[in-house]
Amino acid sequence: MDTMGRGERHSRMRYRRRNDPAYQGKQHQHKKHGDRPSRNQPNKDDSLITGFFSSRGRPYIYGRVTLPRFGVSTDVPFLLDTGADSSCLHFRHTSELVVPESSLGNESSVGGIGGNAAYYREPAMVTFAYGSGGIDEVSYNIDLALSYSDATLGLPSLLGRDILDDWHIEYSRKRNLLRCMI
C-alpha cells in the first residue's frame, strides 16, 4: 500500500523544457506550488499530456522509462489503471530494456485481478512529454515493478496511482478525449 504523502510525491517530479539550451542536461526540480500548474487554475494546453484510445477503447498514454542503474530506456504505451497501486512494466517492454533478469534484486509476488505474478522492483524515471508540440517534459522517480514472466506477455504495461494521483484527468471515450493535467 502506498503510504507516501502528496508533498512527497511532488518532490519526485521534475520539469524541463526539452529544446531550451538553458535546460539541456539539467534536471530542474520545482519545489514551490507556484512553480507548477495548479489543478485550480484554468485548463491550459501547455500543461496537458494528451493520451489516446486503442481500437478496443482502452486509455493509453506514452511515457519514456529509464532505469538509471543500467543506463537503458524505452518508450512505453501505458494503460491508465486507477486500480493499480503502482506502475508496472510487463514482459513485452521489459525485454526491450535488455536488462538481464539475474541483474535485478529480489523477486516479489504482486497480485491483481488476473492473479499473482512475479515482479522485480527497480528505481526508474518515467518521463512524459506535454504542452504545445510536446516540447516540455515532466519526470517521476518511482519504484517500477518489472515482470519477466511469460504470463504477462499479452498484458499492457500499467500506469498506476503512484503517478496518476498527481494528475487531473479528463476522460471521454465518446468525445475521444484523454487529457492529463499536471
Read out DSSP for 62-122? EEEEEETTTTEEEEEEEEE-TT-SS-EE-HHHHGGGT--GGGS--EEEEEETTEEEEEEEE
Residue 158 near residue 88, CB atoms below 8 Å: yes
CATH architecture of structural domain 42-181: Beta Barrel (2.40)
Q: Per-domain residue ranges for the chain?
A: 42-181
83-127 pLDDT, tens digit each: 999 999 998 999 899 888 888 887 777 766 666 778 899 999 999
Which is more confidently placed, 70 or 17?
Answer: 70
C-alpha to C-alpha distance for 50 and 80, rounded to whole angstroms: 12
In the structure, what pLDDT confidence band is assigned to residue 14 with cuts at 50, 70 and 90? low
In the structure, what pLDDT confidence band is assigned to residue 62 with cuts at 50, 70 and 90? very high
Average confidence (pLDDT) over 31-46: 46
Please state, rounded to an integer, the average pLDDT across all residues of the chain. Answer: 80
In the structure, what pLDDT confidence band is assigned to residue 151 with cuts at 50, 70 and 90? confident
C-alpha to C-alpha distance for 14 and 125, rounded to whole angstroms: 10
Cβ neighbours of 121 (radius 10 Å)? 18
Q: How many residues does the chain have?
A: 182
